[in-house]
Structure 1
Amino acid sequence: MSDERTSAAGGMDTSYGFQSVASGEKQGLVNDVFHRVAKRYDVMNDVMSGGLHRLWKEAMVAALNPPARHDYRVLDVAGGTGDIAFRIVEASRREAHATVLDINGSMLAVGRERAQQRKLSGNVDFIEANAEELPFDDASFDAYTIAFGIRNVPDIAKALGEARRVLKRGGRLLVLEFSEVQMPILDKVYEAWSFNAIPALGKAIAGDDEPYRYLVESIRKFPNQRDFADMIARAGFDRVKWTDYSGGIAALHSAWKL
């Protein structure tokens, strides 16, 4: 068991939080976490981030700047509840089409219900599939987005390769993920909040602290900004860069398929 971050060389595939698990075992454990938290997932995001995740997501969609074109297609991966997809469609004046792909049926059920409530079912479809084996033809999408989901994918390098495959030439990759805090003092405060307060809040709000213990541990294990940027570059993307949010609590990685 280790709390050291994994590097650009990998290691997330056998890391279930701070536990080391056998190759192939992580996906089932992660699936169970999200079945358990699906109905409270977005509420807990508010609690875990103090509401900041909403600002980070808005910044992500602003960076994408989706055009008001009916032929503009976005693939949002690990976005089962539809949060990012809905924002993208609204930003395009309800012209763009978003495909939400998630491996977890419970999360997708929440998203489908919300799409109907928002009258966005015509703009958003939901597909249950694995980020490591996307069920789409090459060069199918103008953009690929994933928010707070890439660290839960066992084989991140394979998922990034699939992202590049399904993007059109000139397509955009945007990855929003918790990262390494870059500010002294804030890093200590954030770590104390993560490991002490968040599991306790999960217990109080969702009735279960174990999934949230995994989530904060997985954040701590995820590669830092530079190492993750190296992984994106190794997958064949160009113009790789990142922007830190809130002192590096989260970071938005951007890249292009050129």
Structure 2
Amino acid sequence: MSDQVSFGYEDIAPEDKTARVGGVFSSVASKYDIMNDAMSGGLHRLWKDQFVRRVKPQPGEAVLDMAGGTGDIAFRMAAKGAEVVVADINQDMLDVGIERAMERGLSEGAGGLSWSCQNAEQLSYPDRQFDAYTIAFGIRNVTHIDRALAEAHRVLKFGGRFYCLEFSTMTWPGMKQAYDSYSHKLVPQIGKAVAGDENSYRYLIESIRRFPPMPEFEKLIRDAGFARTRVEPIMGGLVAIHSGWKI
């Protein structure tokens, strides 16, 4: 089974995962932000605010926001003066982000934002291009996480920083069981009611369960060449901010 990768609770051929994940996000793109509010009770906004505070984007810095699709992280960083490339493998997600930017009065390429369709495992950028690389709620959907991390390391300048916000494994006693029950039973039903798509949200919850625990994922970041790695659990590990530096 070593030549297979996870798609939720399924094990499938690696060449099939990219297409199937693409189908999921094309299906949910138009309702993605509404569903984030519905699933988290709006908490995802606070998590993203905290994430950007940790990244500390600076005026004029070049930041690659991978899997940035709808622009939630990028808008926050661009407001700090950073020059942000919003990259995503899924054009439907990028289209939603571009539309949201236009609603804010930002034409494409304006306001420190640009948009690019990119595969996290094979970026088109040259070595040492960016001051920071961010990815929020996207790394678990990558087919080969180690390749994506290696690419993140490659495109960062020396002294550049990597930040990842992702769902993780809750460690609070008693809360883990309650959250597991909520996520497996209710989230797909919310997806059905709000986005008209139960199966895609079932996959997204299952993908969280298959994602490596915090110490294991931190090791993958170190193995990619990053130093001074750190993990910051939020809400007992419901989500976590992982970081590392290219030095």
Deviation at 1:42, TM superposition (A): 0.9
| Secondary structure class of the residue paired with 2:125 | coil
Give the letter aligned to residue 136 of structure 2.
A
Match of 2:140 among 131, 148, 151: 151
How many angstroms apart in 2 are the aligned matches of 1:119 and 1:244? 35
| Secondary structure class of the residue paired with 1:183 | coil
Alignment of 1:89-108 (within 5 A): 89-90=78-79, 92=80, 95-108=81-94
Match of 1:27 in 2: 18
Q: Deviations over 1:154-192 (max 9, x none)?
A: 010000000000000000100000000011110001000
Alignment of 1:23-172 (within 5 A): 23-67=14-58, 69-70=59-60, 72-90=61-79, 92=80, 95-120=81-106, 121=108, 122=110, 123-172=112-161
Moved over 4 A (4+): none
Normalization by structure 2: what TM-score?
0.96
How many angstroms apart in 2 are the aligned matches of 1:12 and 1:51? 38
How many angstroms apart in 1 are the aligned matches of 2:234 and 2:38? 17
Give the letter aligned to residue 234 of structure 1.
D
The structure-2 alpha-carbon separation of the partners of 1:32 and 1:56, relative to structure 1 and needing over 3 Å to count, comes to same
Alignment of 1:101-250 (within 5 A): 101-120=87-106, 121=108, 122=110, 123-250=112-239
Give the letter aligned to residue 86 of structure 2.
V
Higher RCO structure (Cα 8 Å, ≥6 apart): 1
Computed over aligned residues only, the root mean square deviation of the Cα atoms, in angstroms, reads 1.4
Deviation at 1:63, TM superposition (A): 0.5
Match of 2:6 in 1: 15
How many residues align structurally? Answer: 244
Deviation at 1:140, TM superposition (A): 0.5
Structure 1 gaps of 5+ residues are: 2-10
| Secondary structure class of the residue paired with 2:14 | coil
- Contact 1:175–1:254 (Cα < 8 Å) also in 2: yes
Deviation at 1:12, TM superposition (A): 11
Deviation at 1:246, TM superposition (A): 1.0
How many angstroms apart in 2 are the aligned matches of 1:65 and 1:22? 38
How many angstroms apart in 2 are the aligned matches of 1:166 and 1:42? 28
How many angstroms apart in 2 are the aligned matches of 1:216 and 1:12? 23
Structure 2 gaps of 5+ residues are: none
How many angstroms apart in 1 are the aligned matches of 2:153 and 2:131? 11
How many angstroms apart in 2 are the aligned matches of 1:242 and 1:88? 21
How many angstroms apart in 2 are the aligned matches of 1:189 and 1:114? 34
Give the letter aligned to residue 131 of structure 1.
A
Deviation at 1:23, TM superposition (A): 2.3
- Contact 1:176–1:250 (Cα < 8 Å) also in 2: yes
Q: Deviations over 1:67-114 (max 9, x none)?
A: 2x23x1100001110110001111x1xx21100110101000001111
Normalization by structure 1: what TM-score?
0.92
| Secondary structure class of the residue paired with 2:33 | helix
- Contact 1:78–1:103 (Cα < 8 Å) also in 2: yes
How many angstroms apart in 2 are the aligned matches of 1:27 and 1:135? 17
How many angstroms apart in 2 are the aligned matches of 1:129 and 1:65? 24
- Contact 1:12–1:151 (Cα < 8 Å) also in 2: no
Q: Percent of aligned positions with the same letter in both sequences?
A: 50
